[in-house]
Structures are given as structure tokens and as C-alpha cells.
Amino acid sequence: MDQSVPARQPATAKRDGVRRHLLDLIEQAGPGTALPPERDLALRLGVSRPTVRAAIDDLARTGLLVRQQGRGTFTSPHKITQELSGGTTNAFAVPPAEGYWTSRVLAFRAAPAGAPRATRLKLSPSEPVLRIVRLRLVDKEPMAIERIDVPAALVPGLTEREMESGNFYQLLRERFDVVVADAIQTIEPTVTNPDQADLLDVPLYSPVLLIERTTRDVTGRIVEFARSIYRGDRYRITSKLRFDSSSG
């Protein structure tokens, strides 16, 4: 017998079998479907509950399953999709993605810009900047944590209540006569810290998308710097690409 490849450990083989069974359940079930209890799965598959739990943990780490304390384990919910639009200011006039979006304002405070914010917003360090931090919810479920820095002089009289619903760019246009024209946005993966995990109701170190955006109005002024954390298990971004005849 070739001893170069060690025999697979029975416990690992059993966990792989449970994992395959769970993957079949996920494929057949719709988003947000409850799995049978661990005890029932263990009896059905002839394995121990720790083996079932280990397989579920593996799939939860990949985002295919979601544990909800006191409720059980569910297949991953439907993802909220945002389509990136380019070449038109209409992209700023539509809701940011699917679903009914609302916000819970966590912080709302004006203070001198200071050096870092002054550089980003092209202001004097002494000029006041309004910082708004809000928890973004879709159909009442936490989806993102958004931090917005806006030159305070652009939004005199803005209230927390106005930031709880609606489209921020539409509010800028209609209430303050600030018409956004373009933005530079970056997207990169990261993981949650303890505070973010608590607000988004996800496990610590869950995958999230970090989105940073610098927005200018039609006069070329920088009117916003936003830094947002979006849940990686519930949010995705799609984009349309257009190719001309010279594309290789």
C-alpha cells in the first residue's frame, strides 16, 4: 500500500459527508430557509451533533448559512443588489439599491475640519464640517454603517430627522440647491470590528465591503466624503460594461 498519502480520518470524512448533504439542502431551498435542527440532522445522517455543528460552522464562515441566536440556522438571505450606473447624474437620483431603505442616525455633529478632513474636502482646517453617522436598514434589517462628512456651510439647518429616510443627493438638490455631478468611489473587502459587528448583527470578523466616495457638485466643489461598511453576506454590486469596436 502506498504510504505517501495518509488515510483520511473518519471524523473528517463524516464531516465532509454532512457538508455535502447541507450543500444539497442549500441548493434546493430558497434564501432564508430554516435548516432542520442539529439533533434531527445528526439522527438522519448517523453522525454526532458536534460533527453536524462543525460542518454548519464551515458553511457559515463562507456565508452560505447564517446562524441566528435563539432561532436556528438559515440559508443565506436574498442579497440586495445595487447596479452601478455611469455617465449620467440620474444615478444619484434613484434609490441606492433594492428594498425599502431607512436610516437610524448614530451621530450628528459639526466640528472644525482639522487637517485630514480639510485635505479631503479642500477646506481650511478651521471650517466646520458636519459628520453624520447612520445605520442603514433595508426592510428594517441592518445593511450598512455610513459615515458622511459634509461642509457645514453647504447644509445650514439640516436636521437628523431629514437623514432618516429619502435620498441624500435629492435632499441636497431640493433643499440646499447643491446639484451633484460626479464622484470617485473605491470598493475593497475587509472584515468587521466588534462595534461594526454589533451594529450590523453579524459575527465578529464577518466579511464586509468598504466603500469610500468623494462627491463633487456641478461647480466642482467637493460636497461630500463618505465612508461606508456594507454587509458582505447581504449586499452585492453589479456593473454594466460597454465595449466599442476597438476593444481588444
Whether 154 has a pLDDT exceeding 60, the answer reads yes
Partnered with residue 144 across adjacent β-strands are 136, 230
Does pTM top 0.95 for this prediction? no
pLDDT-based confidence at residue 221 (cuts at 50, 70, 90): very high
**pLDDT (mean) for 149-164:** 96
Percent of the chain with pLDDT over 70: 82
The answer to whether residues 72 and 35 touch, using CB atoms and an 8 Å cutoff, is: yes
The two most distant CA atoms of the chain are separated, in Å, by 80
Confidence (pLDDT) at 205: 86
pLDDT-based confidence at residue 226 (cuts at 50, 70, 90): very high
| Type of residue found at 87 | G
Confidence (pLDDT) at 162: 96
**How many beta carbons lie within 10 A of that of residue 129, not counting itself?**
24
The answer to whether residues 225 and 213 touch, using CB atoms and an 8 Å cutoff, is: yes
Helix 49-61 and helix 10-28, axial crossing angle in degrees, nearest 10: 60
The answer to whether residues 145 and 135 touch, using CB atoms and an 8 Å cutoff, is: yes
Percent of the chain with pLDDT over 90: 48
| Angle (nearest 5°) at CA 25 between 28 and 41 | 150
Cα–Cα distance for residue pair 15/56, rounded to 1 Å: 9
Whether 171 has a pLDDT exceeding 80, the answer reads yes
pLDDT top residue among 185 and 233 = 185
Whether 125 has a pLDDT exceeding 60, the answer reads yes
**pLDDT (mean) for 37-57:** 91
Confidence (pLDDT) at 239: 67
pLDDT per position as a tens digit, 6-43: 444 466 778 888 888 888 888 787 778 888 999 999 99
Confidence (pLDDT) at 5: 43
Half-sphere exposure of 16 (CA within 13 A, CB side): 6
pLDDT top residue among 244 and 143 = 143
Distances (CA, A) of 151 to 63, 170, 217, 220: 38, 17, 12, 14
Residue 159 is placed in which grid cell? Answer: 436636521
Residue 89 is placed in which grid cell? Answer: 447624474
